[in-house]
Structure 1
Amino acid sequence: MNIQKFKNFINEHNYLRILKDFIKKILFWISLQKKINKLNKTNTYLKQFYGNNQKVKLNLGCCDKQDRGWINIDIDKKFNPDILDDVTVLSCFKDNCADEIKSAHLIEHLTYEDTLKAFKNWFRVLKKGGILSIECPNLDKCIDMIRSEEDSEKIRLGFVGIFGDPWAIKKYGILHSHKHGWNPKTLRVELKNIGFVDIKEVKIEETYRYCNQKYERDMRILAKK
């Protein structure tokens, strides 16, 4: 049988279409199984916290800084988070299930649009009265640092706050570049628009960062649902 006859035979019996349909079904079931596994893992963690009467606390964009007592979530599997999920969506979590959400040096890595999407989903997942903590570079402070005329280190760390750390970008990839900047005023406005209340600036937690030890570059905002 020559090649043309073989092609005609395949087309005549629709074997190619049957094969394509079969592959589509296989891929669908693989995708479905992955989603089921992800949901099962999430439920396991939630049962663990509920069973011990612990608060459900989500550490979003945990990277390699994973905290005990928190459910550590990241989109990058190389960090081996407790749950692998898109932190702007939190597809594994039902409405009104979390007591606290922590976002430390995450939102500067998101676009403005993705950050607003994240705020809406974080509001959705938090219980009534739940607390949101956001820590990130203060754009106002970064600009002031760049305007320094003598301190080259201060200028450099100001630029890092705006664009991201070149070392981290080289090590972890382009996801670690900065895509949008915030100051306390702009964060308050957007969080209030989503529905958060009692929005206030408080002392930062990540004081170990050199940019904060010397220049107090970053900010931390608390908000309540």
Structure 2
Amino acid sequence: MLVKEFLAQLPTLFDNWGMETMQPKQGEWGQIVDRVVQQHTSNFYALVDAACGYLEPGEVFCEIGCLAGGNLVAGLQNNPEVLAYAIDLYSPDGDEVEQKTGFLQGNLTHFDVLDRVCFAHIGVDEFFEDLRNTESADQFGVYIYSFVPDYRQALISLFLVRPWLAKQAVMVINNSQTPPVQQAINDFLAAEPAAKVLLDWQMADHGVFGSQGLAILVWDADNQVSEINPLIVGAVAMETSADKFAKLLAKSTKKKVLHVGCGPYNPNALPPDLRTENWQEIRLDIDPKMQPDILGTITDLSAVPDNSVDAVYSSHNLEHIYDYEVPLALAEFKRVLKPGGLTWLVVPDMQLAAEWVVKGDMDDQPLYTSPAGPVRALWMFYGMGTSIPGTPYMAHKTGFTASGLRGRLTVAGFRSVEVWRGNFNIYAKGYKKI
């Protein structure tokens, strides 16, 4: 896959690139939209067509979740040398499978690309197992994940494809702004240095691509495109967040507490010392449904200027990031604090949870009741994502004891660190050096 050439051309393919009114400059994509009646738009089809146009000889196009075949048609009809794998698992109902498979084949036949598509009605795991068993030598230069926005399916689709990716390949991931898919992408990038972000379309607007966000990753096995700067679409939203933050700072002369990972609004969420009339709460969360003042993540507070808040409060957030990310989060907290500013943390008490496990009770006796439900030792170790389907972002990826959390804050440069235990939690305070 000629990644550099593809990336250079991509913004030139569209009028109003990066805007909600974006449309392809060329191509009769409306015919596919009208024929296949599926969720993708002309913009998505133009992108797939361009990507397949930069495949090198012998490279193959593969799509997980082909639905009615719109992307297959878009990728193949203008690129007559390209072959494709198409995988989907419609339903266990035989009649529905026959109906949807027939519709797919009819669409591929209508656009005269049926003979270049190898379709399999199987799951992701089974498809890649079949590839291994047949010792396939095919190399995927363009790989699209359009399957269900599920954490496990998205993550295994990214991990299992690795042996069949060309040395340079693009991986197009649909619905990238849904929390399960977003988490799968982040976890894959953290584990795979050969994968890099090529395009991060952060606008979750169905009118642009027919999906909630779009991510394109580049698989760069030989590190040949390391100098490429990713295209970030949605930076205006980050600028708006920064502008909004400046307005919040100017709103009053009260001391400012940045509530990181605030969740839904709760007037009693902050500790009593931080919710007096002397304090102004600024809410930050990764999930727009929480209606925060600022969108951001615990490891990226880029919308918040240096030395701008008097306190940072974060309750039950650090355990949801990987252990190696904890110093990044603490460094961000320290960066945004004014000299002498306070960071106040709450995390589960893993020493207490371990004591219950030693007693032989990990998942029977609730230790306490949280807004999410009864919390057992199992949840304290692994998070509610272990028990509630569709909540992988609520999984725990690290844990803390009182001495361990004290050490983390000290190493991060916080002074006068105080740590105490209670109510199945560890509480910690630390201050930025004046």
| Superposition TM-score tier, normalisation by shorter sequence | 0.7 to 0.9
Could you say which residue in structure 2 is the equivalent of 1:107? 318
Partner amino acid for 1:162? F
**Residue type of the partner of 1:94?**
P
Q: Is 1:200 the counterpart of 2:418 in the alignment?
A: yes
Percent identity, aligned pairs only?
24
User: Residues 102, 138 of structure 1: CA spacing in aligned structure 2 closer, same or farther, 3 A cutoff?
Assistant: same
Q: In terms of mean alpha carbon deviation, does 59-68 or 83-92 score higher?
A: 59-68
Highest CA radius of gyration, 1 or 2?
2
Equivalent residue, structure 1, for 2:298: 87
Q: Deviation of residue 168 (structure 1)? A: 7.8
2:395 — aligned with what?
177
Structure number with greater CO (CA < 8 Å, separation at least 6) is 1
- TM norm structure 1: 0.76
> What amino acid does structure 2 have at the position aligned with 1:182?
F
Three-state SS of the structure 2 residue aligned to 1:26 is coil
2:258·2:313 contact (CA, 8 Å) conserved in 1?
yes
Answer yes or no: is the 8 Å Cα contact 1:134–1:222 preserved in 2. Answer: yes
Matches within 5 A, 1:37-186: 37-48=240-251, 52-67=252-267, 69-149=280-360, 152-153=364-365, 157-166=376-385, 169-170=388-389, 173-186=391-404
* Count of residue pairs the alignment pairs up: 194
Instruction: Report the Cα offset of residue 128 of structure 1.
Output: 1.1
Do 1:145 and 1:154's aligned partners in 2 also have CA atoms closer than 8 Å? no
Cα gap change, 1:62 to 1:169, in 2 (>3 Å): farther
| 1:139–1:41 Cα change, 3 Å | same
Give unmatched runs, 5+ long, in structure 1. Answer: 1-16, 205-211
Q: Which moved more, 1:177-186 or 1:21-30?
A: 21-30
Pick closer, same or farther for the CA change 1:153–1:29 going to 2, 3 Å: closer
Instruction: Give the match for residue 219 of structure 1.
Output: 426
RMSD: 2.8
Structure 1 Cα separation of the partners of residues 262 and 15 of structure 2: 34
Structure 1 counterpart SS, 2:255: coil
* 1:1-31 superposed Cα distances (whole Å, 9 cap, x missing partner): xxxxxxxxxxxxxxxx878525397227963
Question: 1: distance between equivalents of 2:344 and 2:10?
Answer: 51
Higher strand share: 2
Aligned-partner residue type, residue 41 of structure 1: K
Report the Cα distance in structure 2 between the residues aligned to 1:166 and 1:176, rounded to whole angstroms. 5
After superposing the two structures, state which structure 1 stretch, 59-68 or 129-138, moved more.
59-68
SS at match of 1:141: helix
Q: Is the deviation greater in 70-79 or in 26-35?
A: 26-35
Q: 1:150 to 1:55 in 2, by over 3 A?
A: closer
Secondary structure of 2:303 counterpart? coil
